[in-house]
Copies of this chain bind each other. A is one copy, B any other.
Amino acid sequence: MPVSLQCQVCTGAARELFSSLLPEQRARFARAAVPHAYRAHETIFHEGTPALAVYCLRSGTIKLFRRLKHGEEVVVGTRGAGDLAGLRGVLAGMPYASTAMTLEPAIVCAIPGEIFVGLVRENPMLGYRILVRLARESRLLEGQLVERNHDRVAKRTARFLARHLPEDAPSTSACAGISTSREEMAQLIGTSPETLSRVLHGLADEGILELDRKEIRVLDLEALLRRAD
């Protein structure tokens, strides 16, 4: 798949992150960064392989997951436009701790680790911004994994739905923008497809949702949010 993209040093959502780069640094960045258009369900990097690059999402969504010995995939996070992936591996100088895979078509810039680290080390402002971002991300990760340990599937599902409502959601009748299969949705919530199905139909029976193979409509947002908390 030949790509005729050129890295503008993230004109997108990550622009501010890199805004402190000097012209020379910016040029170095742009020269080294390799953008690539991925289709849905393509792997960007594999758990356990040397962390050679940091990936910057210009568009699309990806999931990060670990594979257990048993073979099962555990999703540890998702990233969207403007987010970075593979950051920790590169900084720690260790292999990637998880696999990154696109959930939808995505445009992703690969920034070689050495270049990235070089820029971070010589540009304190960039370093500080990365630090803040990593700190925020780490807090969030902790919260999500604690939540997954201690909240019931029903609650997590409600929260997941609430998080994926389109912005322009009318308060009583919204449409969850879930493009993924039930299998994948179950993974993101951290449960099995069967259990998810039961929970979803439970909510439908109570008139909170309306289910359709392709779409999940929220009929009673109030009630949904009540369960999400």
A92 at the interface (CB under 8 A from B): yes
**Interface code A87-123, partner B: CB below 8 Å = 1, 0 otherwise?**
1110111100110000000000000000000001111
Stretch at the interface among A31-39, A145-153, A174-182, A197-205: A145-153
Q: A74-B150, A97-B142 are in contact. Are A131 and B137 (CB under 8 A)?
A: no
Q: In the assembly, what is the distance between CA of A97 and CA of B143, in Å? A: 8
Given contacts A72-B150, A91-B131, A134-B134, 20 further A-B contacts (CB under 8 A): A74-B146, A76-B146, A88-B135, A88-B136, A91-B135, A92-B132, A93-B132, A97-B142, A98-B142, A121-B125, A122-B124, A127-B128, A127-B131, A131-B131, A134-B138, A141-B142, A142-B145, A148-B149, A149-B149, A149-B190
| Chain A residues near B (Cβ < 8 Å) | 66, 68, 72, 74, 76, 87-89, 91-94, 97-98, 120-125, 127-128, 130-132, 134-139, 141-143, 145-146, 148-150, 190
B130 adjacent to A131 (CB under 8 Å) = yes
- The smallest C-beta distance from A204 to any residue of chain B, in angstroms, reads 27
- Can you list 15 A-B pairs, Cβ within 8 angstroms, ordered by A? A76-B146, A87-B135, A89-B139, A91-B131, A92-B135, A121-B125, A124-B124, A134-B134, A134-B135, A137-B138, A138-B141, A141-B141, A142-B145, A145-B146, A149-B190
B74 adjacent to A149 (CB under 8 Å) = yes
- The smallest C-beta distance from A140 to any residue of chain B, in angstroms, reads 9
- The smallest C-beta distance from A213 to any residue of chain B, in angstroms, reads 30
- Give the residues in chain B near A142, CB-CB below 8 Å: 76, 97-98, 141, 145
Enumerate the 10 nearest inter-chain pairs by beta-carbon distance, A residue then B residue, closest first: A145-B145, A91-B135, A88-B135, A138-B138, A92-B135, A127-B127, A124-B124, A92-B136, A97-B139, A121-B128
- Give the residues in chain B near A120, CB-CB below 8 Å: 128, 131
Closest partner residue, chain B, to A88 (CB atom): B135
